[in-house]
Amino acid sequence: MRKSGILLPISSLPSNYGIGTFGKAAYDFVDFLSKSSQGFWQILPLGPTSYGDSPYQSFSSFAGNPYFIDLDILISEGLLSKEECNIYEWGSDLGYVDYEKMYQSKFAVLKKAFNNNRYVIDNEEYQVFVENNSFWLQDYALFMSIKGTYKGKEFTSWEDDLKKRSVESLSKYINKFGEEIEFYKFIQYKFFQQWKNLKKYANDKGIKIIGDIPIYVAFDSAETWSHPELFELDQALYPVSVAGCPPDGFSKTGQLWGNPLYNWKYHKETGYRWWIKRMKFSFDIYDVVRIDHFRGLDEYYSIPYGSKTAELGEWKKGPGYDFFKIISDNIGKQLIILEDLGFLTDSVRKLVKRTKCPGMKILQFAFDSREESDYLPHNYDKNCIVYTGTHDNDTILGWWRKLSNKDKNIAKKYLDIRSTKHIHWDIIRCCMSSVAMLSIIPMQDFLGLDSSARMNIPSTVGGNWIWRMKENEISDELAEKICELTKTYFRL
């Protein structure tokens, strides 16, 4: 395979309702990908975001983000009226997501759609959806419903009988708040209905979807609450240790993610049953899956719960190849991308090679005046995916403006350029011309945007995940330019 694609989160699409959705702009973007001769659309995780708005900290490993449900589609189906949508505030800046307004408005309008059309939950298609997703849907709907009655507080602060899921307390709650639980099932039904229609449209045009799954589960999530045996938790259901990364180039004190660590002994004893369900589910809704923070499956960084930084953690052995062998035996031959970035040990490199899955190369890491980098294209093996940068990197323009003169000179020599007026296109060309099986370029770099369009700065909270593409920023002219570059380097 020799192909190319574009990285653009669903949240970054244009829309009239504060955030990108599965509506017209998503279909227009698929058309743009097709005109550009791109074979892949990579997105960020689709799960419902929790505190901090990060798609890598979700209330569920299976549920979809209600924010992405398109209201215009609901209007066309007669579930809502335009007037009912327009009474809410969605944010004043079309270039950014206002998550506070999204939280206040989206659930309110979706609740109207549910109350207006209770008959939807009686149809056969809805009942089939509930049955097929019973292994996660009931627990998620129950979790979110209870969380609502506790005004969003994490589950460890709930009354003990609900926190520890006593049969009697759950039965009482279900009887009292059955309608609220049904609402959360309803919005998941509409989410996956809209998503699968969009994915089919993309697939019919020859475009495959690359999904992204976080390796870890959020502490305050339906999975941690309903299946505590999957994680390293104490008797009070608090983590013993949490996930993160040691100090590195992104952060001097490391990255303290706070996710509970897996009880790998339990997972192995059960034949990785939960992970098999998760991977099968992922390949049902995506064509390709990227596993975030892959190295945590070889060795994972364990930080004592309650630590203020990630400096006091230690590396522990993960499940290794045994995990991949069992997953592969159960899901068949599928394309999995391994996020193998950061400091890599020999054991991580050996595991990547043994799985035969492609790893990642980032061009922003390539031009280092201190030493020759593995990220320079002449060092690539074909079995890799090359990016100008990821959601955790600055845009090319933002990165270039902050790069040291020594590193800039290395890049100029390597790329054989004198003028850096169009440096983003020079870096893109370098990606496309490499031997990597797949080249993925963030949409911000095709648009030549600066740091104001950056998606995320690791180890920071607030101001992340908010960039949105404006409606007039993509054009047939840009599609033609991308198409020509794709043809030049035989990535059709």
Residues serving a catalytic function are 292, 339, 392
Reported as half-sphere exposure (CB side, CA atoms, 13 A), residue 443 has a value of 28
Residue with tokens 């391994």: 338
- Phi then psi for 23, rounded to 5 degrees? -95, -155
The answer to whether 359 and 436 have CB atoms below 8 angstroms apart is: no
| Tokens of residue 165, six digits | 């899921």
Residue 217: name the closest of 239, 193, 247, 196 by CA: 239
The answer to whether 278 and 289 have CB atoms below 8 angstroms apart is: no
Q: Which residues in 246-364 belong to E strands, given as ranges?
A: 255-260, 288-291, 299-304, 314-317, 336-338, 359-362
| DSSP 3-state of 107 | helix
Residue type, 74: L
| Tokens of residue 31, six digits | 């058309």
Cα–Cα dist 347/469, whole Å: 40
Q: What is the dihedral of CA 56, 58, 62, 63, to 10 degrees?
A: -130
Cα–Cα dist 21/445, whole Å: 22
Residue with tokens 């911000």: 444
27-35 contacts, C-beta under 8 A, 24 or more apart: 27/198, 27/201, 28/474, 29/474, 30/198, 30/201, 30/202, 30/205, 30/207, 31/205, 32/474, 32/479, 33/5, 33/6, 33/202, 33/205, 33/207, 34/205, 34/206, 34/207, 35/476, 35/479, 35/480, 35/483
| Tokens of residue 467, six digits | 């960039």
- Phi then psi for 140, rounded to 5 degrees? -65, -45
Measure the CA angle with vertex 24, ends 21 and 27; round to 5°. 95
Largest CA distance in the chain: 73
| Tokens of residue 196, six digits | 């699968």
| DSSP 3-state of 344 | coil
Measure the CA angle with vertex 66, ends 11 and 339; round to 5°. 50
Cα–Cα dist 2/437, whole Å: 5
Residue 440, strand partner residues: 5, 387
